[in-house]
Structure 1
Amino acid sequence: MKIYDLNFKSITICALSLAVLSCNGKKEEGKEESTEAEETVSSETSLPLDRLHLPEGFKIEVYAEGLDGARSMAMGDDGTLFVGTRNEGVVYAVKDTNGDYKADKTYVIAKDLEQPNGVAFKDGALYVAAVSRLFKYQNIEQQLDNPQEPELIYDDYPGNFHHGWKYIAFGPDDKLYVPVGAPCNICDSTSVDQRFASITRMDPDGSNREIIAHGIRNTVGFTWHPETGELWFTDNNRDMMGDDTPPGELNRLTEVGQHFGFPFCHGGTVPDPDFGSQRPCSDFVPPVQPLGAHVAALGVKFDTGNMFPESYKSYAFIAEHGSWNRSSKVGYRVSLVKLDGNQAVGYEPFIDGWLDEESQEAFGRPVDLLFLKDGSLLISDDVGDAIYRVTYKG
Structure 2
Amino acid sequence: MHKTRLALLIMVAGTLAACGDSSTLQVSDGTGPSPKLPEPNKTLIPTVNIAPAIGWPDGVKPTAAAGTQVAAFAEGLDHPRWLYVLPNGDVLVAQTNAPPKPDDSKGIRGWVMGKVMGRAGAGVPSPNRITLLRDADHDGVAETRTVFLENLNSPFGMTLVGNDLYVADSDKLLRFPYQPGETSIKEAGTKVVDLPGGPLNHHWTKNVVASKDGNKLYVSVGSNSNVAENGLEAEQGRAAIWEVDRATGQHRIFASGLRNPNGMAWEPQSGKLWTAVNERDEIGSDLVPDYITSVKDGGFYGWPFSYYGQHVDVRVTPQDPDLVAKAIAPDYAVGPHTASLGLTFAEGSKLPAPFSNGAFIGQHGSWNRKPHSGYKVIFVPFEAGKPKGQPVDVLTGFLNSDEKAMGRPVGVVIDQQGDLLVADDVGNKVWRVSAAK
TM-score (norm 2): 0.73
Q: How far apart, in 1, do the equivalents of 2:173 and 2:392 lie? A: 36
SS at match of 2:186: coil
Distance 1:57 1:136, change over 3 A: same
Deviation at 1:260, TM superposition (A): 0.8
Deviation at 1:229, TM superposition (A): 0.7
Which residue of 387, 398, 401 corresponds with 1:354? Answer: 398
Q: How far apart, in 1, do the equivalents of 2:434 and 2:271 lie? A: 26
Q: Deviations over 1:105-138 (max 9, x none)?
A: 2222333322112222221332211121122221
Q: Residue 76 of structure 1 contacts residue 124 of structure 1 at CA under 8 Å; is this kept in 2?
A: no
Q: Residue 251 of structure 1 contacts residue 289 of structure 1 at CA under 8 Å; is this kept in 2?
A: yes
Aligned identity (percent) is: 29
Specify the alignment match of 2:65 in structure 1. 55
Q: How far apart, in 1, do the equivalents of 2:255 and 2:195 lie? A: 18
Specify the alignment match of 2:79 in structure 1. 69
Deviation at 1:144, TM superposition (A): 2.6
Matching of residues 144-293 of structure 1 within 5 Å: 144-145=183-184, 147-159=186-198, 160-174=200-214, 175-187=216-228, 191=233, 194-205=236-247, 207-253=249-295, 255-268=296-309, 270-275=311-316, 278-279=320-321, 283-293=326-336
SS at match of 2:276: strand
Q: Which moved more, 1:197-206 or 1:269-278?
A: 269-278
Deviation at 1:344, TM superposition (A): 3.8
Q: Residue 267 of structure 1 contacts residue 290 of structure 1 at CA under 8 Å; is this kept in 2?
A: no
Once superposed, what is the RMSD of the aligned Cα atoms? 2.5
Alignment of 1:368 onto 2:411 = yes
Which residue of 334, 353, 362 corresponds with 1:319? Answer: 362
Specify the alignment match of 1:390 in structure 2. 433
Matching of residues 24-35 of structure 1 within 5 Å: none
Q: How far apart, in 2, do the equivalents of 1:246 and 1:72 lie? A: 25
Which residue of 110, 123, 136 corresponds with 2:162? Answer: 123
Q: How far apart, in 2, do the equivalents of 1:173 and 1:310 lie? A: 31
Specify the alignment match of 1:379 in structure 2. 422
Specify the alignment match of 2:373 in structure 1. 330
Alignment of 1:302 onto 2:345 = yes
Q: How far apart, in 2, do the equivalents of 1:140 and 1:185 lie? A: 41
Distance 1:193 1:245, change over 3 A: closer
Q: Deviations over 1:156-213 (max 9, x none)?
A: 5443421122111212242211111111111186545541111012133452312110
Q: Residue 226 of structure 2 contacts residue 280 of structure 2 at CA under 8 Å; is this kept in 1?
A: yes
Distance 1:352 1:281, change over 3 A: farther
Q: Residue 129 of structure 2 contacts residue 149 of structure 2 at CA under 8 Å; is this kept in 1?
A: yes
Q: How far apart, in 2, do the equivalents of 1:212 and 1:237 lie? A: 19
Deviation at 1:46, TM superposition (A): 6.4
Distance 1:311 1:349, change over 3 A: closer
Q: Deviations over 1:349-388 (max 9, x none)?
A: 22211012x3110111111111122211111111111111
Q: How far apart, in 2, do the equivalents of 1:46 and 1:141 lie? A: 35
Distance 1:379 1:135, change over 3 A: same
Q: Deviations over 1:16-43 (max 9, x none)?
A: xxxxxxxxxxxxxxxxxxxxxxxxxxxx
Q: Residue 198 of structure 1 contacts residue 214 of structure 1 at CA under 8 Å; is this kept in 2?
A: yes
Specify the alignment match of 1:41 in structure 2. none
SS at match of 1:72: strand
Q: Deviations over 1:51-82 (max 9, x none)?
A: 53322210011111122111111112222211
Q: How far apart, in 2, do the equivalents of 1:206 and 1:249 lie? A: 32
SS at match of 1:187: coil
- AA at the equivalent of 1:83: V
Q: Deviations over 1:255-288 (max 9, x none)?
A: 3100111111223464313128543865311111
Distance 1:126 1:359, change over 3 A: same
Q: Tell me, which stretches of 5 or more residues in structure 1 are unaligned?
A: 1-7, 9-44
Q: How far apart, in 2, do the equivalents of 1:206 and 1:72 lie? A: 26
Distance 1:224 1:338, change over 3 A: same
Q: How far apart, in 1, do the equivalents of 2:380 and 2:74 lie? A: 27
